[in-house]
Structure 1
């Protein structure tokens, strides 16, 4: 059986790819388990600074695989306890992806719906191809939502837009998604992966300590009160200000050359 999830590392960028193109990269419990394993291996790497999540073929991910064998479904329906435990594991993976120290990019082509949309929303940045189509889709399937999609979208777009898109599910084009702020940029499909890799390389050129600290600032900014945030932000700032990389940044500016950061 082909790997359900593939990972490749080039320089400081790791690319995780859903590998179920015949099913439009629909999710199963086994695929999500493999995704979690890939994320665990990458999050502890000090070398990898950026993680791209994408799908093989012409779709990013179109929710769960309704045709998957019963034992691999995210909800099997055998018992409440069994299904709850499966989602405890899935939610732990989702939280891990959202909070991993690396900057994450969702490179979205084609269909992006349901749980697939939730995964894209959990990323730090989203780049879409011009043929991408988004849909919350849960009410259409008789479900209230999963993988934190409503939580992420409410923070990204605001409660009013999140309510509109989840309570009134519909297809959202790439152009509309860009206008709403659902994605940060839209590019031709043929340029999607190149654009994602170029974006990752640009991020990877930043000072590693500052990049990771900024990721933590961004995460904490939406989950804590201002006083606690300011205290944590100041601690990270002081730590980075004492680093060799800050001195290198100043020297490079004065010498009119690109900085060479070491992460120290």
Structure 2
């Protein structure tokens, strides 16, 4: 069975990490497929939003610890010596492109955190625009527990989401926190009951996917720029985006619908 499942419903692309027996720990196949699907979705006009979630009871446990052990023991025995440090860095960076695309693609991205999210799995969730957590979700950086420093952009994302001091605490101590605490500190946007989790995630995702997607693309670019740019630069960007979205069919339809006191029908153009 494939390590990544895909489904499109109501203009929402669902990407489901699919190694439930290992809490969806990452594999090379999974990350390659994730990068490929995100790349295609970024330019597909039929996709209005992307939801990343996990199969079974977990979101993503991060790296496969069993695979790490086998690799380390193989290296100790002299196996795999042909792979240089540069090769390993390049391989990791290819997988990390998933985080970059979740963060930068013009489509809204949603992490549906149905269970434990740890290590690089948490990093993937944090790279998304919105995190909706089941009340069964658990969050942990985990890297310190296995002697790693962290990857997939987690140190950047967590710092921007919860602040430097809290991010340092969560990375250094690697404590696991529940969904309610994640909501309190700003790591999760919403917490919903496990029983209604899938329905509530789809309601939010389809609302975005069928909304003014061109405007959302400009919004996302501005919000990303706001993390690192000065106020004056954002004013320039906003003026440009506001002018460009004002020329869209979606804008004209929304104005007409408002005056006619009816819901607008957006077409993404």
TM bucket (normalised to shorter chain) is: over 0.9
**Alignment counterpart, residue 202 of structure 1, candidates 207, 213, 233:** 207
| Residue of structure 1 equivalent to 2:22 | 23
**Greater mean alpha carbon deviation, residues 50-59 or residues 75-84:** 75-84
Structure 1 gap segments, 5+ residues each: none
By how many angstroms is 1:134 displaced? 0.8
| Residue of structure 2 equivalent to 1:190 | 195
Instruction: Tell me the C-alpha RMSD between the 2 structures.
Output: 1.7
* Number of residue pairs aligned between Structure 1 and Structure 2: 260
Q: Does 1:159 align with 2:158?
A: no
| Residue of structure 1 equivalent to 2:265 | 260
Query: What whole-Å deviation, never above 9, does each CA across 1:172-212 have from its counterpart, x for those lacking one?
Result: 01111111111011111121111111001111232122121
By how many angstroms is 1:220 displaced? 1.4
**Alignment counterpart, residue 214 of structure 1, candidates 216, 219, 241:** 219
**Greater mean alpha carbon deviation, residues 78-87 or residues 104-113:** 78-87
| Residue of structure 2 equivalent to 1:6 | 5
**Greater mean alpha carbon deviation, residues 241-250 or residues 126-135:** 241-250
By how many angstroms is 1:49 displaced? 1.1
Q: Aligned ranges for residues 81-230 of structure 1 at < 5 Å? A: 81-230=86-235
- Counterparts of 1:121 and 1:49, CA distance in 2: 20
By how many angstroms is 1:251 displaced? 1.4
Structure 2 counterpart SS, 1:68:
helix
Structure 2 counterpart SS, 1:15:
strand
Runs of 4+ in 1 over 4 A off after TM superposition: 75-78
Structure 2 gap segments, 5+ residues each: none
| Residue of structure 2 equivalent to 1:46 | 45
- Counterparts of 2:234 and 2:28, CA distance in 1: 36
- Counterparts of 1:220 and 1:47, CA distance in 2: 26
- Counterparts of 2:7 and 2:125, CA distance in 1: 19
- Counterparts of 1:263 and 1:174, CA distance in 2: 34
- Counterparts of 1:100 and 1:208, CA distance in 2: 12
| Residue of structure 2 equivalent to 1:233 | 238
Structure 1 counterpart SS, 2:152:
coil
